[in-house]
Structure 1
Amino acid sequence: MDATPINTSDSTVFAGNPLGRAGRAQFGTGSASALGMKWSALHDAAGAVAAIAGVETPPQTPDQRNFPAAVRDCGGWRRELAEQGIADLSAIMEPGLSALLSAIARGANPRAAAHALYRDFVHSRDGLVALIPAGTARRMT
């Protein structure tokens, strides 16, 4: 085994290494953003609520799917409002889903409550998506 130290200041050492200097893959700023992960988790929770309600969930539109990246690129007040809106929506969905699951565990039928929660999610999500200028997210696909 060679014990020669590697000169990390020499950029040619890492030229062919896709993992970069730190041994980690280099990704863009939006690849695993917290906003994107929260957005995805909200949609997962909404899917569970819709299933309890017996509601079919349509596929996400490009604006819905690309919302985190679009709002990140918009920045400023839109991003701040989106982050707060996602936090507020999470604060509604988390205990709501928990209550629905508790009701099911007790043998109750929470279908009507699940339907109301899913409807609230859809309205809130659509309001958040409206923060981005029209067509912004579609251009990202």
Structure 2
Amino acid sequence: MNALAHEFDLAQATMLPTGVAGDNAQAQIAALKARWDALHDAAHAVAQLAQLAREDMDEASASLPERAYSAGGPRLDAVEHGISDLALVMQTGLTALLAATSQGKDASSAALTLWLEFHAGRKAIAALLEPAETSALQ
């Protein structure tokens, strides 16, 4: 079995950006988008290890950074923390998967589990931006 290797690094995705001026909305949105996109790049790598097809990001996921910034306050903070938490899970899991595949082990079932965790985490992060009435009903 050939070991798969990926060149992305989530290290930058686990830290909230610092030194971004509060009035520079585009820079804050861009920083959040970069972290969100890094998570999706990691999910693509995990999908490959799970032998799944690449999943394109839907419009709701693609617009999450802008919607989070627009929500502001506690919702933006919660989304930022959720992204950091999910980045840590993905980085740790992907590192373990790549270590297993480098030893010639089949990690496809573990990769599928991590891929499902990514989807659950992404759904939870998106739910932070739903209206309170909708969230309370589910």
Instruction: Report the TM range for the smaller structure's normalisation.
Output: 0.7 to 0.9
Pair 1:32–1:85, CA change in 2 (3 A)? closer
1:126 pairs with 2:123? yes
Pair 1:73–1:38, CA change in 2 (3 A)? same
Alignment partner of 1:100 out of 94, 97, 102:
97
- Higher helix residue share: 2
Percent identity of the aligned residues? Answer: 34
Pair 1:78–1:28, CA change in 2 (3 A)? closer
Q: Is the 8 A contact 2:29 2:69 kept in 1?
A: no
- CA distance in 1 between counterparts of 2:118 and 2:104 reads 25
Structure 1: unaligned runs, 5 residues or longer:
1-26, 135-141
- CA distance in 2 between counterparts of 1:82 and 1:31 reads 13
TM-score (norm 2): 0.72
The Cα RMSD (Å) is: 1.8
Number of aligned residue pairs: 108
Structure 2: unaligned runs, 5 residues or longer:
1-23, 132-138
TM-score (norm 1): 0.71
- CA distance in 2 between counterparts of 1:37 and 1:59 reads 16
Structure with the greater alpha carbon radius of gyration: 1
